[in-house]
């Protein structure tokens, strides 16, 4: 049939029918082929969902109305419908600029606890990834109890022969930092496992972790980085690492000599990573059975002693990384025998001696990194002739001499180079390297001349790092084009250079640059200025005003213009910097008020305008992101605004040396960041990924702690309100800040007593309350502040005895100017102590003293009585008159006392009543004398 004979409308109808039939057939076929999720698998996944906490709704699609093969993170087999993969890692913020603290924010991640058996019972599950979540615990005991069929079989029996083993090939539970795994007895039952990553999970309590993982015959990659492992393990007689390619044990707690089991593995390891551990001893002298080793990485440890010669026996080794240790002695010549070596990294050790001549045999070497050692001798082209593949080279030792032929052209093209301690001139072969991405020259007094040639050469290098050199160059006509420009302490002179739109990080810190900042900010003809995020020109001689050109630099995150001679006001245009997080303008001559426009900088984290001539009131409009405010040594007046208490993240409040008045607000308890003492982990800075440049920037902030103004890279909890005109008593809310580490309220007009609650500030390291009007006694609770290193209570109206405590008795200078204080360390003795020199105070010691006094009294009384009694007795028996008088007295005494009553006595013959023994004694004495005389 010829379609051309049909009318056009009929043709359209036929085509429509044909298409409809094809679509219907396709739909029917797809419905016939589609396989639904297995019901048992779905129920096990739902059990997992009900166990965990899902704050961000990651599992919101896990509904019974939907096929579980379509749920988020799941994947099924197209034929059987069984779940084969579960991919639920938590992703963190990937914006261009991220604050350091925000990298650890896992408030949106899965959390809670779950039973691992509910997932491992997914019979066909081969891939399980729950990494970087916030799980608090996992339970695996049931799985161990139900899969223990190998317990009674001979040692070394592969677990895949025991039956009931998992089909899991990939398991990643890494970076769930709160998980603690007590044992790994469940690991051997995963006999098909090829990839295991438990990095960041605490398994240090499991001393037999190695025995468990060596029972995995198919394991290709093992990552146990940062697991708090220790190296007190017994040696292994049997290891089943027959397929292992990657072994990563970085950042653990190996504190003794390198464990022997690492070198008894009868396997074909191709990557061994022990970076960032705490191994303190030297490497063993032999390394048997690992000649197939490809990667040996032992960086970031405390290994010491010489590098062993046996490393030269590893004929297949490709990467040897021993950097950041304490290896000493010469570099072994045996390393030259490893002809397959591609990377040799021995940086940051204590190696000495010369470079071995045997290195000329390392013809495949691509990275030779030897900087920061104590090498000696001469380095010349003869040491580098064989390295035609070299792309990274570092050489930096104080006693090393560079002596290259000026006409030598290397056989390699480097991507990165680090040189240090260069004398005289830079090696001229450096200018032949046209593919450099990274150039670092430090601690050199060489001439960089001709400077114009050097700056033109450096403009094509993305990463330029020059620190502590003596360049002495004028930067007025220099154009900087590198993405990272780090020119610190090089004695650069002249006015500021120009920069291109490529520059992301510009650091000209601590040089001798002068003039206005306008040529850099206002006169640069750049179409797109939004790439610059870091601007640091502190510690120079810059002058003039801050200009008003900040609108063109809205990408800036960090500005440091401190320690210059800048004048004028802070321009309103700085408020347009919406990405600004750190603003340092300290130690200039700025005047006026802090502009209200800075309220628009919602992300501002640190504001430091200390040591200027600024005036007005303390800004009350600062945003919630603020962690540090430094206004010290200005002319701010008025009271401390209560809005400060709404800054819950505030950790540094430095308002010292101003003219503030009024009381301290009683709302500081709302500053919740000061309730916790974990300042060492609260580093300030940010991660960035801008214009192809990725990195991390750590920011320092100057704080006055213990009387010293020092730079810190982590924030501490500090309140400094000293040298103002503050009055009234200290509010009780200050004593609620239980994470406070430094408190300075000195040189004010504060009154009242020091509260006993001050003992709540346990982390306190520095306390200064001097030169106020505090009264009353020093609270006893202050003796419990064991971390206080500096304390000053001088020149107040305190009274009483100084409490006992090490930190309270360190020096009398802490208490002078309080005339009513007494006790150590002052020389003034307290009244109660002075009285105790004569009569001991109440208590057991006092009773002992009284006993001694009365004992002496009665001993003297007894001795006197005995002497008098003998004298009287002698008179009675040896004198006739006394003898007769005595017996007449006794004869009359009996009838006088027969009517005795207590407590009085009646003398019957006279009727006299005597009320105490002393009167009776006096009466008898008189009668005795009368009888004796009559």
**C-beta separation of 276 from 302 below 8 A:** no
Rounded Cα gap, residues 867 and 846, in angstroms: 32
Rounded Cα gap, residues 439 and 885, in angstroms: 127
Count how many Cα atoms sit within 13 Å of the Cα of residue 9 in the half-sphere of its side chain: 0
Give the chain's radius of gyration (CA, Å). 43
* Average pLDDT value for residue range 815-819: 94
pLDDT digits (tens, 9 = 90+) for 253-277: 766 554 445 554 434 455 555 555 5
Residue 345 β-bridge partners = 321, 369
Residue 903: pLDDT above 60? no
User: Which stretch, 526-535, 595-604, 677-686, has highest mean pLDDT?
Assistant: 595-604
- The reported pTM is 0.76
pLDDT digits (tens, 9 = 90+) for 14-71: 556 665 655 554 444 444 445 788 999 999 999 999 999 999 999 999 999 999 999 9
Q: Which of 520, 469, 472 is nearest to 496 (CA)?
A: 520
pLDDT digits (tens, 9 = 90+) for 274-318: 555 544 455 544 433 444 567 777 787 777 788 888 788 878 888
> Which strand (E) or helix (H) includes residue 922?
helix 917-933
DSSP string for residues in 58-120: TTTT--TTS-GGGSTTEEE-TTT--EEEEE-PPP---SSEEEGGGGG--TTS-EEEEETHHHH
**C-beta separation of 750 from 774 below 8 A:** yes
Rounded Cα gap, residues 693 and 102, in angstroms: 20
Residue 712: pLDDT above 60? yes
In the chain the first and final C-alpha atoms are separated, in Å, by 182
* Average pLDDT value for residue range 319-346: 92
60: its two tokens: 């919101």
* Average pLDDT value for residue range 752-765: 94
DSSP string for residues in 827-892: SPPPHHHHHTTTSPPSSHHHHHHHHHHHHHHHHHHHHHHHHHHHHHHHHHHH-HHHHHHHHHHHHH
Q: Which of 201-205, 227-231, 884-888 has the lowest mean pLDDT?
A: 884-888
The pLDDT score that the predictor gives to residue 678 is 67
366: its two tokens: 């691509």
The pLDDT score that the predictor gives to residue 528 is 55
Cα–chain-centroid distance for residue 517? 36
Q: Which of 828, 820, 825, 827 is nearest to 807 (CA)?
A: 825
Residue 685 β-bridge partners = 698
pLDDT digits (tens, 9 = 90+) for 466-511: 999 999 889 999 999 999 999 999 999 999 999 999 999 999 999 9
Provide the pLDDT confidence category of residue 3 given band limits of 50, 70 and 90.
low
Residue 395 β-bridge partners = 419
Provide the pLDDT confidence category of residue 211 given band limits of 50, 70 and 90.
confident
Q: Which of 7-11, 573-577, 606-610, 743-747 has the lowest mean pLDDT?
A: 7-11
Count how many Cα atoms sit within 13 Å of the Cα of residue 214 in the half-sphere of its side chain: 18
* Average pLDDT value for residue range 670-677: 90
Rounded Cα gap, residues 357 and 355, in angstroms: 6
When the pLDDT of each residue in the chain is averaged and rounded to a whole number, the result is 81
Count how many Cα atoms sit within 13 Å of the Cα of residue 847 in the half-sphere of its side chain: 2
357: its two tokens: 């001549």
The pLDDT score that the predictor gives to residue 212 is 84
* Average pLDDT value for residue range 806-813: 69
List of residues 6+ apart from 685 with CB closer than 8 A: 99, 100, 696, 697, 698, 699, 713
Provide the pLDDT confidence category of residue 99 given band limits of 50, 70 and 90.
low
Residue 779: pLDDT above 80? yes
Cα–chain-centroid distance for residue 261? 32
Rounded Cα gap, residues 677 and 716, in angstroms: 8
DSSP string for residues in 1-69: --GGGS-HHHHHHHHHHHHHHHHHHHHHHHHHH--PPPHHHHHHHHHHHHHEE-TT-TTTT--TTS-GG
The pLDDT score that the predictor gives to residue 223 is 85
Residue 913: pLDDT above 50? no
Length of the chain as a residue count:
934
User: Which stretch, 231-240, 555-564, 800-809, has highest mean pLDDT?
Assistant: 555-564
pLDDT digits (tens, 9 = 90+) for 167-176: 899 999 999 9
Residue 793: pLDDT above 70? yes
Rounded Cα gap, residues 28 and 912, in angstroms: 140
In terms of Cβ atoms closer than 10 Å to its own Cβ (0-12, 13-18, 19+), residue 624 is exposed
Residue 880: count other Cβ atoms within 10 Å of its Cβ: 8
The pLDDT score that the predictor gives to residue 394 is 97
Residue 590 β-bridge partners = 568
> Which strand (E) or helix (H) includes residue 137?
strand 134-139
pLDDT digits (tens, 9 = 90+) for 397-455: 999 999 999 999 999 999 999 999 999 889 999 999 999 999 999 999 988 888 999 99
> Sign of dihedral through CA atoms 54, 59, 65, 69?
negative
Q: Which of 177-186, 779-788, 805-814, 874-883 has the lowest mean pLDDT?
A: 874-883
Rounded Cα gap, residues 294 and 509, in angstroms: 43
Question: Which backbone phi and psi does 728 adopt, to 5 degrees?
Answer: 70, -175
* Average pLDDT value for residue range 912-927: 48
List of residues 6+ apart from 890 with CB closer than 8 A: none
* Average pLDDT value for residue range 103-129: 86
Compute CA distances 544 → 452, 478, 495, 513, whole Å: 28, 21, 12, 13
The pLDDT score that the predictor gives to residue 170 is 95
The pLDDT score that the predictor gives to residue 4 is 52
Q: Which of 430, 361, 362, 364 is nearest to 395 (CA)?
A: 430
The pLDDT score that the predictor gives to residue 270 is 54
**C-beta separation of 585 from 608 below 8 A:** yes
Compute CA distances 169 → 38, 73, 74, 146, 190, whole Å: 20, 17, 16, 20, 8
Higher pLDDT, 894 or 378: 378
Percent of the chain with pLDDT over 70: 74
Residue 850: count other Cβ atoms within 10 Å of its Cβ: 12
- Phi-psi group of 892: left, alpha or beta (phi > 0 → left; psi -120 to 50 → alpha; rest → beta): alpha
Residues 91-128, buried b or exposed e (16+ Cβ, 10 A)?
Answer: ebeeeebbbbbeeeebebbbbeebbbbbbbbbebbbbb
């Amino acid at each position: 049939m010829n379609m051309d004979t049909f009318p056009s409308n009929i043709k359209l109808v036929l085509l429509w029918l044909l298409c409809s039939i094809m679509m219907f057939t396709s739909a029917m076929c797809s419905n016939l082929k589609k396989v639904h999720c297995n019901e048992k698998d779905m129920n096990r996944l739902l059990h997992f969902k009900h166990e965990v906490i899902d704050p961000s709704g990651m599992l919101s699609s896990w509904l019974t109305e939907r096929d579980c093969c379509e749920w988020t993170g799941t994947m099924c087999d197209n034929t059987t419908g069984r779940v084969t993969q579960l991919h639920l890692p938590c992703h963190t913020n990937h914006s261009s600029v991220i604050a350091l603290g925000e990298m650890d924010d896992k408030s949106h991640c899965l959390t809670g606890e779950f039973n691992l058996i509910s997932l491992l019972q997914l019979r066909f599950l081969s891939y399980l990834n729950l990494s970087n979540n916030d799980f608090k615990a996992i339970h695996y005991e049931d799985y161990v109890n139900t899969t223990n069929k190998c317990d009674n079989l001979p040692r070394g029996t592969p677990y895949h022969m025991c039956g009931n083993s998992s089909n899991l090939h990939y398991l990643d539970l890494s970076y769930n930092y709160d998980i603690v795994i007590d044992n790994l007895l469940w690991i051997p039952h995963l006999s098909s496992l090829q990839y295991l990553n438990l990095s960041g999970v605490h398994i240090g309590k499991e001393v037999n972790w190695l025995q468990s993982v060596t029972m995995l015959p198919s394991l290709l990659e093992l990552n146990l980085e940062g697991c708090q492992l220790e190296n007190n393990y017994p040696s292994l007689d049997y290891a089943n690492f027959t397929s292992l390619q990657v072994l990563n044990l970085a950042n653990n707690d190996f504190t003794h000599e390198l464990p022997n089991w690492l070198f008894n593995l009868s396997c074909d390891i191709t990557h061994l990573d022990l970076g960032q551990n705490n191994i303190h001893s030297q490497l063993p002298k032999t390394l048997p059975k690992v000649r197939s080793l490809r990667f040996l990485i032992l960086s970031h440890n405390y290994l010491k002693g010489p590098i062993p010669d046996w490393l030269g026996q590893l004929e297949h080794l490709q990467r040897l990384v021993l950097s950041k240790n304490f290896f000493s002695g010469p570099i072994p010549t045996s390393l030259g025998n490893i002809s397959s070596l591609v990377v040799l990294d021995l940086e940051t050790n204590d190696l000495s001696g010369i470079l071995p001549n045997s290195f000329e045999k390392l013809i495949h070497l691509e990275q030779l990194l030897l900087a920061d050692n104590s090498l000696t001798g001469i380095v010349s082209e003869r040491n580098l002739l064989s390295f035609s593949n070299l792309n990274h080279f570092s050489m930096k030792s104080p006693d090393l001499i560079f002596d290259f032929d000026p006409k030598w052209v290397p056989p390699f093209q480097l991507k990165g180079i680090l040189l240090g301690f260069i004398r005289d001139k830079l090696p001229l072969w450096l200018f032949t390297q046209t593919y450099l991405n990274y150039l670092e020259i430090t601690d050199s007094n060489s001439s960089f001349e001709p400077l114009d040639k050097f700056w033109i050469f450096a403009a094509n290098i993305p990463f330029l790092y020059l620190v502590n050199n003596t360049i002495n160059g004028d930067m007025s006509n220099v154009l900087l084009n590198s993405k990272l420009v780090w020119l610190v302490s090089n004695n650069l002179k002249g006015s500021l250079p120009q920069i291109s739109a490529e520059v992301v990080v510009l650091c000209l810190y601590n040089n001798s640059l002068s003039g206005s900042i306008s040529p850099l900010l206002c006169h640069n003809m750049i179409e797109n200025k939004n790439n610059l995020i870091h601007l640091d020109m502190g510690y120079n001689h810059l002058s003039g005003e801050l200009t008003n050109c900040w609108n063109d630099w809205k990408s800036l995150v960090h500005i440091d213009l401190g320690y210059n001679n800048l004048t004028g006001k802070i321009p309103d245009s700085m408020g347009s910097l919406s990405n600004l997080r750190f603003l340092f303008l300290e130690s200039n001559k700025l005047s006026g008020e802090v502009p209200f426009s800075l309220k628009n900088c919602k992300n501002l984290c640190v504001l430091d305008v200390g040591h200027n001539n600024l005036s007005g009131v303390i800004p009350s409009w600062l945003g919630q992101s603020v962690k540090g405010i430094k206004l010290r040594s200005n002319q701010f007046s008025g009271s401390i605004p209560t809005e400060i208490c709404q800054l819950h993240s505030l950790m540094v409040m430095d308002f010292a040396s101003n003219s503030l008045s009024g009381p301290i607000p009683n709302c500081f308890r709302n500053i919740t960041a000061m309730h916790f003492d974990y300042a060492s982990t609260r580093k300030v800075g940010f991660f960035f990924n801008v214009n192809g440049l990725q990195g991390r920037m750590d920011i320092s902030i100057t704080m006055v702690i213990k009387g010293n103004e020092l730079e810190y890279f982590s924030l501490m909890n500090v309140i400094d309100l000293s040298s103002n005109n503050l009055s009234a008593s200290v509010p009780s809310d200050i004593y609620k800040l239980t994470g406070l580490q430094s408190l300075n309220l000195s040189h004010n007009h504060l009154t009242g007593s020091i509260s006993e609650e001050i003992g709540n500030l346990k982390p306190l390291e520095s306390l200064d309350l001097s030169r106020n009007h505090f009264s009353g006694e020093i609270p006893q609770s202050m003796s419990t502040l064991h971390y206080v290193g500096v304390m000053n209570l001088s020149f107040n109206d305190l009274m009483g005895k100084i409490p006992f405590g090490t930190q309270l008795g360190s020096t009398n200078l802490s208490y002078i100017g309080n005339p009513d204080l007494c006790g150590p360390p002052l020389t003034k003795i307290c009244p109660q102590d002075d009285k105790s020199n004569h009569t001991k105070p109440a208590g057991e010691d006092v009773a002992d003293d009284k006993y001694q006094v009365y004992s002496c009294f009665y001993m003297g009384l007894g001795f006197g009585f005995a002497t008098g009694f003998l004298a009287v007795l002698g008179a009675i028996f040896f004198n006739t008159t006394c003898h007769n008088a005595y017996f007449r007295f006794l004869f009359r005494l009996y009838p006088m006392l027969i009517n005795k009553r207590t407590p009085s006595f009646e003398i019957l013959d006279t009727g006299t009543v005597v009320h105490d023994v002393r009167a009776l004694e006096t009466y008898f004495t008189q009668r005795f004398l009368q009888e004796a005389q009559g």
